[in-house]
Structure 1
Amino acid sequence: MSNIRHLKPAGKAIFKDRYTKKVKELLTGWENEKKGKFGLVGLPLSKPSISHSGASFAPEAIRDAMQSYSTYSGELGVDLLDPILDFGDLEMNPTEIVENQRRLYEGMTDIFATEAVENWFMLGGDHSISYSSIKAFSEHYGKVGVIQFDAHHDLRNTEDGGPTNGTPFRRLLEDHSISGENLAQIGIRDFTNAKAYHDYAKEQGVSVYSMADIRYITMTNILARELRKLEERVDVIYISLDMDVLDQAFAPGCPAIGPGGMDSNTLLEAIFQVAKHPKVMAIDIVEIDPTIDIRNMTSRVAAYAIIQFMKGKNVK
Structure 2
Amino acid sequence: MNLYKPTDERIWTGREAGQNLYVYQKVEQIDLELQNIPVSGDKTFVLMGYECDEGVRRNKGRTGSKEGPQTARRQLAKLPHHLNENTAIFDAGNVVCVGDDMEKAQSVLAEKVTQILNYKGLPLLLGGGHDIAYGHYNGIKKFVDNDQKIGIVNLDAHFDLRSNEDGNNSGTPFYQIATENSNGSLDFPYLCLGIRNDANDKILFERAREWNVKYIESELFHKQNTSYVINKINEFCKEVDFVYLTIDLDGFSSAFAPGVSAASPMGFSVDIALVALDTIISTNKLISADVAELNPTYDRDDQTAKLVASLLHFIIHKVSLL
TM class, shorter-chain normalised?
0.7 to 0.9
Give yes or no for the alignment of 1:131 onto 2:134.
Answer: yes
3-state secondary structure, aligned to 1:93 = coil
Equivalent residue number for residue 92 of structure 1: 97
1:115 aligns with 2:119: yes
Is residue 182 of structure 1 aligned with residue 193 of structure 2?
A: no
Cα 1:269–1:122 change in 2 (3 A) is: same
Identify unmatched segments of 5+ residues in structure 2: 1-9
Aligned equivalents of 2:39, 2:177: Cα separation in 1 = 29
Matched residue, 1:16:
16
Amino acid paired to 1:242:
D
Q: CA RMSD in A?
A: 2.5
Gaps of 5+ in 1: 1-9, 73-77
Deviation at 1:182, TM superposition (A): 1.3
- The CA distance in 1 between the partners of 2:296 and 2:225, in whole Å, is 31
Q: Using a 3 Å threshold, how does the CA distance of structure 1 residues 102 and 70 change in structure 2: closer, same or farther?
A: same
- Counterpart residue identity of residue 164, structure 1: N
Secondary structure at 2:221 match in 1: helix
Query: Secondary structure at 1:212's aligned position in 2?
Result: helix
Alignment of 1:36-185 (within 5 A): 36=40, 37-49=44-56, 50=59, 51-72=61-82, 82-112=87-117, 114-117=118-121, 119-141=122-144, 142-160=148-166, 162-176=167-181, 180-185=187-192
- State the distance in 2 between where 1:220 and 1:23 align: 33
Deviation per CA, 1:66-98: give whole Å up to 9, x if none: 1332113xxxxx768722122111233223233
User: Equivalent residue for 2:7?
Assistant: none
Shift of 1:242: 0.3
For residues 219 and 181 of structure 1, do their structure 2 counterparts lie closer, same or farther at Cα, with a shift above 3 Å needed?
Answer: farther
Paired with 1:311 and 1:12, the residues of 2 have a C-alpha distance of 19
* Matched ranges for 1:163-242 at <5 A: 163-176=168-181, 180-215=187-222, 218-231=225-238, 233-242=239-248
Partner amino acid, structure 1, of 2:276: A
- Matched-pair contact (CA < 8 Å) for 1:68–1:300: no
Q: Give the residue type in structure 1 aligned to 2:78.
A: S
CA distance 1:18–1:255, change in 2 (3 Å): same
Matches within 5 A, 1:208-287: 208-215=215-222, 218-231=225-238, 233-287=239-293
Aligned-partner residue type, residue 123 of structure 1: L
Aligned length: 298
Question: How many Å apart are 1:293 and its aligned residue?
Answer: 1.0
| Percent identical residues | 23
* SS class of match (2:49): strand
Q: For 1:218, what is the secondary structure of its paired residue?
A: helix
Matched to 2:36, the amino acid is N
Alignment check: 8 A CA contact 2:52 2:96 kept: no
Task: Give the Å deviation of 1:63.
Answer: 0.9
| Residue 313 (structure 2) aligns with | 307
Task: Point out the structure with max Rg over C-alpha.
Answer: 1
**Secondary structure, aligned partner of 1:98:** helix
TM-superposed CA distance for 1:16, in Å, is 1.7
| Deviation at residue 227 of structure 1 after TM alignment | 2.5
Match of 2:3 in 1: none
In structure 2, do the counterparts of structure 1 residues 115 and 177 end up closer, same or farther at CA, with 3 Å as the change threshold?
A: farther
Gap change, CA 1:177 and 1:55, over 3 Å in 2: farther
**Paired letter, 2:131:** S
Q: Distance in 1 between matches of 2:169 and 2:18?
A: 46
Whether contact under 8 Å (2:49, 2:127) holds in the other structure is yes
Cα gap change, 1:98/1:20 in structure 2, threshold over 3 Å: closer, same or farther? Answer: closer
Cα shift at 1:104: 2.5
Partner amino acid, structure 2, of 1:121: L
Structure 1 residue 181: Cα displacement: 4.4
Provide closer, same or farther for how the CA distance between residues 312 and 81 of structure 1 changes in structure 2, counting only shifts above 3 A: same
Identify if the C-alpha distance between structure 1 residues 53 and 187 changes in structure 2 by more than 3 Å, giving closer, same or farther: same
Equivalent residue number for residue 32 of structure 1:
36
Paired residue secondary structure (2:272): helix
SS in 2 for 1:90: strand
Stretch deviating more after TM superposition (125-134 or 51-60): 51-60
The question of whether the paired residues in 1 share the 8 Å contact of 2:233 and 2:280 is answered with no
Q: Distance in 2 between matches of 1:268 and 1:205?
A: 25
